[in-house]
Amino acid sequence: MYQINGYFEASTIKEAIDYLAGNENSQVIAGGTDVLIKTRERKSGYTDKDLVGIMRIPELKGINLDDDGNILIGSTTTFTEVEEDEIILRNIPSLSAACGSVGGPQIRNIGTIGGNVANGATSADSASTLFAMDAVICLEGPEGKREMPIKEFYLGPGKVAMNKGELMTQIKILKENFMCFKGHYIKFSQRKAMDIATLGCSIMVKTTGNKIDELKVAYGVAGPTPIRATEAEAMAKGMEITAENLDLIGEKCLENASARDSWRASKAFRQQLIRELPKRAIKIALGGGE
């Protein structure tokens, strides 16, 4: 038995928001792969809650293109659904790979991309790729709807910019942030499955000939929240793709990072990964393979 106070199944966004806003003790639950574990561990703030289930709200599910060609991902779309979705595979395969790297099949069949982001973990597999694509988080609450860039959504470890009563409805990826880009995600972990990334690196790169027009490098576990290597990105603009330049880019990526020691890996090892992974990811994204 879980130490839960009550359970409410919301069938519309409005029902969920009304319940969340009207009950101080409420807690959203989607696939439960995060919330139920914390409840099981009796983590403070996760016991005796009135849970609000949102998996049966049809508007929160599925992946669509809007009229402008932007990709809209419903917050309760599962990792498996994102991984196998045609729109995702065709336009942003790196997000498919990122979602496919989460846990194992059972977790991917129920864990949601919205939950992955909403729990605020730096290690979230989907988050670095969403950072690399400057995803927009769409929220709805008692005061109406609002949108914000994903980098403003993350406030600190486990902390996100969501107010009481608010629900994440969608994750939006603007066309200009994936059209003409090639992307790749590398999850560096000790095991191939059922593991949390030692470091995650997702890149998006746009090139003309052998020159970088635009580069985006995002990391998970290189700081308290997912981050972008903005210094390296600025430097990379216009650079020729050579081994020396890739080394320079990798080195520069350290400037935005604040890797730490943990039992999974030392700071020095993570720094080496921070240097190395974007180089590999760029080469693979551009078809160089490794």
Partner 1 sequence: MLKTINCTVNGRAMELQVDVRESLLDMLRNRLHLTGTKQGCGVGECGACAVLIDGETLDSCIYLAVWADGKDIVSIEGLTGADGSLSDLQQNFVDKGAVQCGFCTPGFVVSATALLEKNPNPSKDEIRRGLSGNLCRCTGYQKILDAVESTADQRRNK
Binding stretches for partner 1 (CB under 8 A) = 1-4, 6-7, 9, 32-33, 36-37, 40-41, 51, 53, 55, 80, 103-107, 109-110, 192-194
Nearer to partner 1, 51 or 186 (CB): 51
Rounded to a whole number of angstroms, the minimum distance from the CB of residue 53 to partner 1 is 7
Rounded to a whole number of angstroms, the minimum distance from the CB of residue 110 to partner 1 is 6
Nearer to partner 1, 34 or 134 (CB): 34
Rounded to a whole number of angstroms, the minimum distance from the CB of residue 253 to partner 1 is 30
How does DSSP assign the chain, residue by residue?
Answer: ---EEEEEE-SSHHHHHHHHHH-TTEEEESS-TTHHHHHHTT-TTSSSEEEEE-TT-GGGS-EEE-TTS-EEEETT-BHHHHHH-HHHHHH-HHHHHHHHTSS-HHHHTT-BHHHHHHT--TT-HHHHHHHHTT-EEEEEETTEEEEEEHHHHEEETTEES--TT-EEEEEEE-GGGTTT-EEEEEEE-SSSSS---SEEEEEEEEEETTEEEEEEEEEESSSSS-EE-HHHHHHHTT-B--HHHHHHHHHHHGGG------SS--HHHHHHHHHHHHHHHHHHHTT---
Rounded to a whole number of angstroms, the minimum distance from the CB of residue 124 to partner 1 is 16
Nearer to partner 1, 4 or 87 (CB): 4
Rounded to a whole number of angstroms, the minimum distance from the CB of residue 119 to partner 1 is 14
Rounded to a whole number of angstroms, the minimum distance from the CB of residue 121 to partner 1 is 15
Nearer to partner 1, 41 or 240 (CB): 41
Nearer to partner 1, 80 or 225 (CB): 80
Nearer to partner 1, 90 or 192 (CB): 192
